[in-house]
Structure 1
Amino acid sequence: MSAIVHVVESFGAGTLSMVSAIANAQSQDGHQVTVIHSVREETPAGWRDLFVPAVNCIHLPMQRAIHPLNDFRTGRALFKWIASIAPDVVHLHSSKAGALGRLVSLAWALRSDGPRWFFSPHGLSFLQRAEGRLKNGIFLTIEKILAGVPVTFIACSKSEGEEIRRHLSGNVVVVNNAVDLSKIPQANALTPQSPLPTPRRLRIGTVGRVCLARNPEFFAEVASKMASDSLEFVWVGGGEASGEAALRAAGVAVSGWCDRAAALAQLATLDIYIQTSRWEGLPVAVIEAMAAGLPVVATDVVGNRDLVKNGENGYLAHTPDEFVAHLQALSADPALRRQLGQQAQAFALEFYSLTPMMASLYAAYGIAPTADKTPKETQ
């Protein structure tokens, strides 16, 4: 049995989905798993239910913004927890936990008996297009400095791995994000009782938090340009007030926050899935949409471009007008929607299930996939 610690500040959305999936699988494989985490505004109230009972969760307040004094205190607390647990592996997730954890790892740098350290960015901070060149340059400089710490990067997509090698470090392995495919419902549009075409309004939508990274203003512009009695634009999720206001002003139906089961049920009612992200690592929501059998139109950014293959399972686009052109073509052609949706589903089933992801992760860690579960003799 190996002891594995996950450290995550970005405790919501896709990062939380991936951390819970990984931690649960590792625990069920017989390993001792601890998750040291913060809680954000977007952290769901029932987050503990996402983890199996055997996963030990430790709350450690971490701030997303840089705050030297608080960061020092948090780093000291993190050091104490890791020293007391004495894990074989420490896996850091997203920017803030990655920065704090890499600095803490220096305490073990000259020791041969310390844990092996890994860092998954889940979307590189310096690729955040909305932040501007100056701020992105600062993010890149910080990452270049931290890249000198001997920690192995784990990229969640091939394109993220290429960016890490280009800008930061050659010490990187790619472990694609994945989903539990058994929990993804089939899109209603692909079921036999839902013949195409249908008399109802065509539903075009996305699933996720309304936030800067997901670019709700871009989504709203696409919806405004395509306003029609035959189309319904839907955003399954809630979040930042300004983003929600922009969506509603464009006639988009915003569901507000809902739990995973409800979100997946809403996903199944869509006909076309769109992802207007400014940046990504490898979007879990897009994998889920593909697994449901939906064609996808997405921005041509890191992560999205690993999943969406033009004309095969969807389309990549750069501008609202390009989105509109692809969506109009799909809206007018039920057979094309079905064809691309079926090909998207086959693609997700072949490459993005949990089994290959966990095998790749264990190989990166250098530990056996399944722990020895033989019970110890009692005296």
Structure 2
Amino acid sequence: MRVLHVVESFGGGVLSAVLSMVDATPDIEHQLAIWHRRDHADTGDERAAFAAVHVLPGPPRRAARGLRNLVRRVGADLVHAHSSYAGVLARSCDLGAPVAYSPHCFAFERTDLSAVSRTAIREVERSLVRRTDVLVACSPHEGSLGAELGFRRVVTVPNRALHPPQVRVRRGEPFRVVTVGRVTEQKDWRHLVEVKREADRQAAARGAAGLHWEWLGSGDTEGEDALRTAGVEVSGWLPRTEVVARLGAAQAYVHTAAWEGAPVSILEAAAVGLPIVARAIPTLVSDDVPGLEPTVEGQAERLLDLHEPLAWARAHRRSLAFSTDHSVSLQRYRLTTAYRHVPASVRNPREIPRARMDHGSYSDALVR
């Protein structure tokens, strides 16, 4: 089977999710089409994971024509579109192949848009339902939203950390707090600044030492400047291996995004055993992420409580258990289940590997 993945940037969390899918299904040939519609964090990671990497032209009409030609030229059995713009591109034209769609967070969940804009985006998604052969959701919350929109076939395929960690974190000093991602409205750098200020205030009231803060990534100039002014180091874009190494040298991971799909950065932090403190947004609640708190005050208090050795050890164990629940065998089972649920009239079932688990048993992966 040959799957052509379509993404709108070669970098960041979406690419990490795609790479984990490729790694989990070595019996499928995966190719990649990149539609560069904005600046992105191309650190050169893992291009060799794909049988071929193609670049689509920028203007939408040319990109659609280029994608149609590419599907025919490479003989793709399935097109798997990732995130909103790539999803619209792949489903707005007749590609001559079935289409799987992974929103990696529906755009109508963005809290930086007006209610009118979110409603319009929701209607666009609803209008494309009939052109989607299977929705591949990254969390139970996203799967439920897809079912509400009317997608007929919905399979939840959990993200996971791509590589087994080479290190496990150890509690130490100085107490380093890290986060990972693009400095944007979505990751909500303003919220992180508020959490840091509240943690500094609570630490002073307790007579405790302050925390050392670092943002692993880059992005908006305004956000980077505000973070540095608040005392948060900003690393700039780093190779994946360096990100994982810095996670392994920290003592806590904080996640303050305003909206999300299923962030791989949390899973990478959990894989090395980092205690997690995260904002309680719907997708993270549905995925049962440890360390969730709904308020700035609660997030700051949880971070400071991790200074206590027993609290840190408990959170460390919870992170490792959470990581174990997001295994390669589960991801492989769910993804092959998703691909097999493409209607028989538009695919050859013999070319799709049979969904299987290496161990254990799971209930039907379909949301509905």
Q: Could you say which TM-score interval applies, normalised by the shorter chain?
A: 0.7 to 0.9
User: Residue 279 of structure 1 contacts residue 301 of structure 1 at CA under 8 Å; is this kept in 2?
Assistant: yes
Question: What TM-score do the two structures reach when normalised by structure 1?
Answer: 0.83
Query: Are 1:211 and 2:209 matched, yes or no?
Result: no
1:340 aligned residue:
315
CA distance in 1, matches of 2:10, 2:193: 27
Where in structure 1 are there 5+ consecutive unaligned residues?
63-69, 109-114, 190-197, 371-379
The aligned runs of 1:301-320 (5 Å cut-off) are: 301-309=281-289, 313-314=290-291, 316-320=292-296
Query: Are 1:322 and 2:298 matched, yes or no?
Result: yes
Query: Are 1:145 and 2:141 matched, yes or no?
Result: no
Task: Tell me how far 1:308 sits from its aligned partner.
Answer: 4.2
Query: Are 1:21 and 2:1 matched, yes or no?
Result: no
Q: 1:96 to 1:324 in 2, by over 3 A?
A: same
2:270 aligned residue:
290
The aligned runs of 1:61-140 (5 Å cut-off) are: 61-62=57-58, 70-104=59-93, 106=94, 108=96, 115-140=97-122
Q: Pick 1 or 2: higher relative contact order, CA cutoff 8 A, min separation 6.
A: 2
Please tell me the residue identity of whatever aligns with 2:14: T
CA distance in 2, matches of 1:60, 1:269: 39
Where in structure 2 are there 5+ consecutive unaligned residues?
204-208, 341-351, 356-368
1:188 aligned residue:
170
CA distance in 2, matches of 1:107, 1:268: 44
CA distance in 1, matches of 2:82, 2:32: 11
User: Residue 362 of structure 1 contacts residue 369 of structure 1 at CA under 8 Å; is this kept in 2?
Assistant: yes
Task: Tell me how far 1:286 sits from its aligned partner.
Answer: 0.6
Task: Tell me how far 1:24 sits from its aligned partner.
Answer: 4.3
Task: Tell me how far 1:184 sits from its aligned partner.
Answer: 5.4
Q: 1:24 to 1:291 in 2, by over 3 A?
A: closer
Question: What TM-score do the two structures reach when normalised by structure 2?
Answer: 0.85
Ranges of 4+ aligned residues in structure 1 off by more than 3 Å: 306-309
Count of residue pairs the alignment pairs up: 336
Deviations 1:325-358 (A, max 9, x none): 3223323x22111112112202211x21222212
Deviations 1:200-244 (A, max 9, x none): 221122122212211111101111222254311111122211111
CA distance in 1, matches of 2:268, 2:130: 35
Task: Tell me how far 1:369 sits from its aligned partner.
Answer: 5.4
User: Residue 35 of structure 2 contacts residue 86 of structure 2 at CA under 8 Å; is this kept in 1?
Assistant: no
CA distance in 2, matches of 1:296, 1:307: 14
Q: Secondary structure at the match of 2:130?
A: coil
CA distance in 2, matches of 1:201, 1:98: 44
Task: Tell me how far 1:318 sits from its aligned partner.
Answer: 2.5
Match for 1:279 among 259, 273, 282? Answer: 259
Query: Are 1:33 and 2:30 matched, yes or no?
Result: yes
CA distance in 1, matches of 2:286, 2:337: 22
CA distance in 2, matches of 1:3, 1:118: 13
CA distance in 2, matches of 1:60, 1:186: 40
1:11 aligned residue:
10
Task: Tell me how far 1:51 sits from its aligned partner.
Answer: 2.9
Q: 1:96 to 1:54 in 2, by over 3 A?
A: closer
